[in-house]
Structure 1
Amino acid sequence: MENYGLNVELIGKAGSREMLQTPALVLDLDLLERNIRQMAEFAQEHGVSLRPHAKTHKSVRIARMQIEAGALGASVATIGEAKIMIEAGISDVLVTSPVVHPAKVDLLINLNSRADGLMVVADHVANVATLDAAAAAVGRPLTVLVDLDVGIGRTGSRTPEDAFFVASQIDIAPNLRFGGVQAYAGKLQHIEDYADRKAANDKECVSIRDLLDRLNASGIGVPRVTGVGTGSHDIDAREGLFTEMQVGSYVFTDTHYNAVVLREGDPRPFEPSLFVRGTVVSVNQPGCVSVDTGLKRFATDSPFPPEPVRGVSAGCSFTFKGDEHGLVVFPRPDMNLSLGTGVEFITPHCDPTVNLHDSYHVVRGETLVDIWPVDARGAI
């Protein structure tokens, strides 16, 4: 077993969750398994395939768990993540961002020779030409999807007309295979109200339908339409446009998603399974205690702070107090915690929080059962 610090000695010991040296990224295996199973059952019931986004967990083990539960394969954000998944034997991988740098194009072509299911997106004809030439050099076709921007303003062809032109160039390129359409509406995933989110989603679906109509009218077959996030999974599954869902955060959830009504009648179908565990290291300030979990342990882009949920009484809150420290703030002046008390927090944004840690401390109940590496941490 690889050495993940002194906590490795705690594996299998009763009560070892409370003994963890901190800061530690804690993963509740029972809740993780439940979340994976819940989304798999949802997808099956609605006749849509799962291609979960591994950028969330960056873990070969979790990707395998998702595939064992019925997922087609994995989505990844970077070619570095693709490399790690493919080298671990996961061959059905979609790179959801354009691959442009020459060294990364070379790696993409190399990986394509080892993974029959590797796919990538493109949103510009110049990139299509580059990929076609690179694939021609090795004599093995590469599957490429057109990426349509549905309002996020990040990547993707800006209009259905532009996307159709890119798709047509992929389709006629002698060394490429047209793999379908990607359309990810990232900007609406955290709209809290279900009806408001659906209204926003309906507007974005207009451009997707436009593109699909153009492709169908031209005789270009569309093998897949992929996208969808945790925030829109229920809406998109009912809409019927997508054949694949790239949901990611559902495996962990976070304080940001906890504010979102994910389904009508079932606002929180997924339970928080990921926590950052800290230890009370100072108790001298009135109304609060200091813990060893600061800016270097949590993503800080969310409008919601970490939420203390274990080791504290209800009503406590968290405030950042530097790189390595934070404050647990009490709702009443008569409250306190002792030095050495362990406190666990729901993360504010799970994906980038994971990337700040080397490993998951995997627990069942009160017992540390394993330590898993964050395999793709920092993989570009």
Structure 2
Amino acid sequence: MSDDLTLHAHLVGRQGSRADLNTPVLILDRAALDRNIAALAALAAAHGVGLRPHAKTHKSVDIAKRQLGAGALGVCCAKIGEAEALAGGGIKGILITSPVAAPRAIERLASLAARADGLMAVVDHPLVAARIDAALATEGAALDVLIDIDPGIARTGVASPEAAVALARVIADLPTLRLRGVQYYCGSQQHIEDYAERRAAIVERTGYLRTVIAALAEAGFASDIVSGSGTGTHRIDLELGVFTELQAGSYVFMDKQYLDCDLTGDGEIPFETALGVDARVVSANHAALVTIDAGFKALSTDGGVAVVRQGAPEDARFAFMGDEHAALVAPGIGERLAPGDPVTLTVPHCDPTINLYDHYHVVEGDTLVAIWPVSARGRGR
């Protein structure tokens, strides 16, 4: 069975080798990636705020190492499986941002805490905190934890300042847990396209966060770490000055969802589009439509549809045509493109699209320069 390395390893370093890649294939522009990493690192540093980028976006040891090399405190992982994969690749300072509650997962968390430098996790329920404490005691390990605060979407997190204080008191009595602060991620606000509307929503939600932090402080629990934010709100959150570290993730790639947002208030796009999917025309038998080899199995569908970036007319409209195929529709496109012609797509939503691939094909211009594994692909538990 062919895989990316079997198909493409011999192309690494050969001038113009991107044109010889079997498609569909996940493409990463290394220079743009590094510029994005450097841009947010510099912005956070200028505000005296730490950066712990969310690796659920890229799931990559190689990219995490580049972020740490640019000054990041560590990275975030959504699940214990992601954290195991990245820690196994030598990544330190991992924060697991979703509650770990299943019995076997708690055992794995305790085991990882015994061997992973700087591991942290969030908790949002006294029962789970007690179970983690018992598992850590068995391993002879300890763990720094943050209280996860619900920003109003009822997904995870304590639901009130009083609940935060009650949980803090439970944690204080558990010998293996060390309370370091809070996590607050306003996920539903990240993709509000209008800057003023998004800012107003975040100002309101940050006001609530301040009440929780104040309640904890009054009860004797200082929040040394206030972790949160995202690509959509990073500028606003830096301005408001509550977070001690940012969890932005998609900034390294920039998918269509974030390109549709005014991230800065002046229409400026602060990060480059570093990620794409290269596809090819496989059928061109109609004047106004061609078929490409990238369908549901090549692109996530939760963020809308892909956008043609290169290789087709600017007015070409993308439409899924099933598991294996999509159509590009535009007047005369079938007369301008032929089977085998390459097309580059900007992905709708980077995180789940990346999870469809085993490797990044890293390019500089038209040359394949590296093949990096998607280290935590499928590590959703």
State the identity as a percent: 47
SS of the residue corresponding to residue 234 of structure 1 reads helix
Conservation of the 8 A alpha-carbon contact between 1:121 and 1:182: yes
Match of residue 314 from structure 2: 314
Question: Which residues of 2 match residues 240-251 of structure 1 at below 5 A?
Answer: 240-251=241-252
* Structure 1, unaligned runs of 5 or more: none
CA RMSD of aligned residues (A): 1.4
For residue 341 of structure 2, what is the amino acid of its counterpart?
A: T
Q: Distance in 1 between matches of 2:334 and 2:212?
A: 62
Question: Which residues of 2 match residues 99-178 of structure 1 at below 5 A?
Answer: 99-178=100-179
Conservation of the 8 A alpha-carbon contact between 1:55 and 1:77: yes
Normalising by structure 1, report the TM-score: 0.97
Match of residue 182 from structure 1: 183
Question: Which residues of 2 match residues 279-294 of structure 1 at below 5 A?
Answer: 279-294=280-295
Change (3 A) 1:13 1:95: same
Match of residue 336 from structure 2: 336
Conservation of the 8 A alpha-carbon contact between 1:159 and 1:207: no
Question: Which residues of 2 match residues 1-380 of structure 1 at below 5 A?
Answer: 4-265=5-266, 267-302=268-303, 304-332=304-332, 335-379=335-379, 380=381
Q: Distance in 1 between matches of 2:6 and 2:25?
A: 11
SS of the residue corresponding to residue 166 of structure 1 reads helix
Normalising by structure 2, report the TM-score: 0.96
Q: Distance in 2 between matches of 1:316 and 1:335?
A: 13
TM-aligned CA deviation for residue 333 of structure 1: 6.4
Change (3 A) 1:210 1:331: farther
* Structure 2, unaligned runs of 5 or more: none
Conservation of the 8 A alpha-carbon contact between 1:287 and 1:336: no
TM-aligned CA deviation for residue 152 of structure 1: 2.8
Q: Distance in 2 between matches of 1:229 and 1:54?
A: 12
TM-aligned CA deviation for residue 206 of structure 1: 1.9
Q: Distance in 2 between matches of 1:13 and 1:138?
A: 49
For residue 322 of structure 1, what is the amino acid of its counterpart?
A: G
Residue range with higher mean Cα deviation, 130-139 or 255-264 = 130-139
Residue range with higher mean Cα deviation, 255-264 or 5-14 = 5-14
Residue range with higher mean Cα deviation, 263-272 or 367-376 = 263-272
Q: Distance in 1 between matches of 2:218 and 2:291?
A: 63
TM-aligned CA deviation for residue 222 of structure 1: 1.5
Q: Distance in 2 between matches of 1:243 and 1:213?
A: 15
Residue range with higher mean Cα deviation, 157-166 or 123-132 = 157-166
For residue 215 of structure 1, what is the amino acid of its counterpart?
A: L
For residue 351 of structure 1, what is the amino acid of its counterpart?
A: D
Conservation of the 8 A alpha-carbon contact between 2:287 and 2:335: no
Conservation of the 8 A alpha-carbon contact between 1:288 and 1:336: no
Conservation of the 8 A alpha-carbon contact between 1:281 and 1:290: yes
